[in-house]
Structure 1
Amino acid sequence: MTNPIRAGQEPPARRALVVRGGWEGHSPTAITDLFIPFLKDHGFTVETAQTLDVYADRELMAATDLVLQCWTMGEISGEQTRGLVEAVRAGTGLAGWHGGIVDSFRGDVDYQFLTGGQFLMHPPGFHDHRVHPLPARADHPVIAGLGDFEVHTEQYWLATDPDIEVLATTTFPPGEGRDRAVEMPAVWIRKQGAGRVFVSTIGHKADDFDVPEVRALTERGLLWASR
């Protein structure tokens, strides 16, 4: 039985595990470093890993409240996937952005089912586009108080699970074989068992997070996903 916290005692720190690697074009170390001080300021102890073997460490994963993953492409073993999925379903949170979470482990369907989406393509280069937090979800803590905002970065086209809870979208205009505009999820959440998953498609480069709304929703998403 856990002893109650006595008056004046600090509650035990939550534990975050930052898993980063894969394709270096998404600067996994530099960009995740932007959020480590934020996590520490919010009471997390933070450990970093440059290997997916941590996902197969059941004791470590059970003690982890939040996994922040930035690992683009690459391959994951069945044992590693099972470890991550089991941990999330038991209550460990999973969060990430852009290719570091939805262009990871392209051949692993179990991983894609966990996150609820898979990157398919983006138009060439960076371009200005608008992100639209959904008014119907305006009371959700990840997007509360945020209106439409502009970004200059990659715009992701994805295959997504119909069971995700979309918080914000972006619009692809007609063209490139499309005869109509297409509304695409840009930020979403989902629950898997006792765990929570947060995904944002924004974050190819560090200055994407200079946009106040991008920084805010990402930080809020980390906190929301955590156990």
Structure 2
Amino acid sequence: MRALIVRGGWAGHEPVACTELFRDFLEGNGFTLHIAETLDAYTSDDHFDLIVQCWTGARFTEAQETALVDRVRAGAGFAGWHGGIVATGYEAPRYQFMVGGRFVCHPGGFVEHTININKTHSLAYGLSTFPVRTEQYFLHVDPTLDVLATTTFTGDHGAPETAGAVMPVAWTRRFGAGRVFVNTLGHSPTDLQVPPTRKITERGMLWACGIVPDHDRDH
């Protein structure tokens, strides 16, 4: 299997350090990795089973957007986390439709909040509610997402309009013959190394390319 990691954009999300955290995991699951630090990687003729994107603030050309969306619709897996997948491509409607959510704001910056797990989701086994201190992403989302995790906003931090909003944190999504996984956690390597956050991300990447997780290995 072949995986393409596309990383770049806003340096504050540490795209190199964050993606390097998963190198051993992906190689250990049989992937040959290809690293690209240009969005033109999407317009190449190479085949990839999985595309992992970590690029905050991307401005896709029409050719880049079309090539990426068509690849996923044809069967490639697409996965990513935090701003690298939902705070990017704002001018790219086909990309936005494929991903199923876009970042709006994170009231209060780094705040304590709770991540609730949807126990009925196929990737939820062994996971339970856990606390985090990081950005709580408020999004505009597609109502058809298959939601793995949520967080509930309190209306604090100068955003009373958000009170009671139950917001998706991680989700899976079928897109044509392809699969899309999004985890809005992962501002930094430290956030991604929180055990449940890392587990969710690892499982999501494997799900995106059609690998069924080994339940016994994860208990």
- Per the TM superposition, whether the score is higher than 0.5 is yes
Q: Which residue of 1 aligns with 2:30?
A: 43
Q: Following the alignment from structure 1 to structure 2, what is the Cα–Cα distance between the partners of residues 122 and 179?
A: 11
What is the Cα deviation at residue 179 of structure 1? 7.4
Cα drift, residue 127 of structure 1:
1.2
Mapped partners of 1:202, 1:179: distance in 2 = 19
State the AA in 1 paired with 2:53. Answer: Q
Distance in 2, Cα, partners of 1:94 & 1:65: 9
Separation (CA, whole Å) in 2 of partners of 1:174 and 1:50? 38
Aligned to 1:183: 166
Q: Is the 8 A contact 2:18 2:192 kept in 1?
A: no
**Structure 2 unmatched runs, 5+:** 211-219
**Structure 1 consecutive aligned stretches of length 4 or more whose deviation exceeds 4 Å:** none
Letter in structure 2 aligned against 1:39: L
State yes or no: 1:125 paired with 2:109: yes
Q: Identify the residue that residue 201 of structure 2 maps to in structure 1.
A: 218
Query: What does residue 21 of structure 1 align with?
Result: 8
Q: Distance in 2 between matches of 1:179 and 1:157?
A: 8
**Cα distance in structure 1, aligned partners of 2:69 and 2:206:** 19
Return the match for 1:172 from 153, 160, 166. 153
Indicate the SS of the match to 1:129: strand
Q: Which residue of 2 aligns with 1:52?
A: 39
Q: How does 1:134-153 map to 2 (within 5 A)?
A: 134-137=118-121, 140=122, 142-153=123-134
C-alpha displacement at 1:136, in angstroms? Answer: 2.9
RMSD between superposed Cα atoms in Å: 1.2
Aligned to 2:191: 208
Aligned-residue sequence identity (percent) comes to 49
Q: 1:179 to 1:76 in 2, by over 3 A?
A: closer
Partner of 1:3: none
Residue aligning to 1:9: none
* TM-score, normalised via structure 1 length: 0.89
Q: Distance in 1 between matches of 2:163 and 2:66?
A: 40
What is the match of residue 181 of structure 2?
198
User: Which letter does structure 2 place at the counterpart of 1:197?
Assistant: V
1:43 Cα offset (Å): 0.3
Q: Deviations over 1:84-117 (max 9, x none)?
A: 0110011100000000000111111111001000
What SS does the corresponding residue of 1:43 show, helix, strand or coil?
A: coil
Measure, in 2, the Cα distance between the counterparts of 1:160 and 1:178. Answer: 17
In the alignment, which of 16, 20, 31 is matched to residue 33 of structure 1?
20
Secondary structure class of the residue paired with 2:160: coil
1:87 paired residue among 65, 71, 76: 71
Question: Would the aligned equivalents of 2:19 and 2:54 in 1 still touch at CA under 8 Å?
Answer: yes
> Aligned partners of 2:142 and 2:180: how far apart in 1?
13
SS in structure 2 of the partner of residue 128 of structure 1: strand
Q: Secondary structure at the match of 1:199?
A: strand
Q: Deviations over 1:148-203 (max 9, x none)?
A: 00111111000001121111100101342327411000000101111000000000
Aligned length: 208
After TM superposition, give the deviation of residue 74 of structure 1 in Å. 2.5
Letter in 2 for 1:168: A
In 2, the alpha carbon distance for the partners of 1:52 and 1:220 equals: 25
Which is higher, the Rg of structure 1 or of structure 2?
Answer: 1
In structure 1, runs of 5+ residues without a counterpart are: 1-13
1:136 is paired with a residue whose SS is: coil
Letter in 2 for 1:125: G
